[in-house]
């Protein structure tokens, strides 16, 4: 088991993952976030759905909201 630190719209959350890494799309699924509504950033790099996040890393998830 591994852990990654996820910042979602300014709030930090620790997420346990199976194994040593997780795909971005799977992380969003675990967080109940639709991939079409969010972007995931690691450092200065924008990640794609099939990129992997490794145990111990920190990512930032920015969820788009509509105020219609």
CATH of the domain at 17: 3.10.20.30
Nearest partner of 10 among 55, 61, 48, 58, judged by Cα: 61
* Domain total of the chain: 1
Q: What does the angle CA 67 – CA 62 – CA 23 come to, to the nearest 5 degrees?
A: 135
Nearest partner of 17 among 62, 48, 56, judged by Cα: 56
Does residue 9 fall inside a structural domain? yes
Does residue 22 fall inside a structural domain? yes
Task: Write the pLDDT tens digit of every residue in 3-20.
Answer: 999 999 889 999 999 999
Does residue 68 fall inside a structural domain? no
Per the structure, the complete domain to which residue 38 belongs is given by 2-63
Does residue 52 fall inside a structural domain? yes
- Give the predicted TM-score (pTM) of the model: 0.88
Query: Within the chain, what is the greatest distance between any pair of CA atoms?
Result: 41
DSSP summary character for residue 20:
S
Query: One digit per residue, pLDDT tens: the chain, 68 residues?
Result: 899 999 998 899 999 999 999 999 999 999 999 989 999 999 999 999 999 999 999 999 999 877 76
């Amino acid at each position: 088991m591994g852990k990654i630190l996820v910042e979602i719209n300014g709030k930090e959350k620790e997420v346990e993952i199976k194994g040593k890494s997780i795909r971005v799309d799977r992380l969003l699924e675990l967080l109940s976030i639709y991939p079409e509504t969010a972007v995931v950033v690691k450092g200065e790099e924008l990640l794609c759905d099939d990129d992997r996040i490794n145990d111990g890393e920190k990512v930032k998830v920015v969820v788009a909201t509509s105020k219609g």
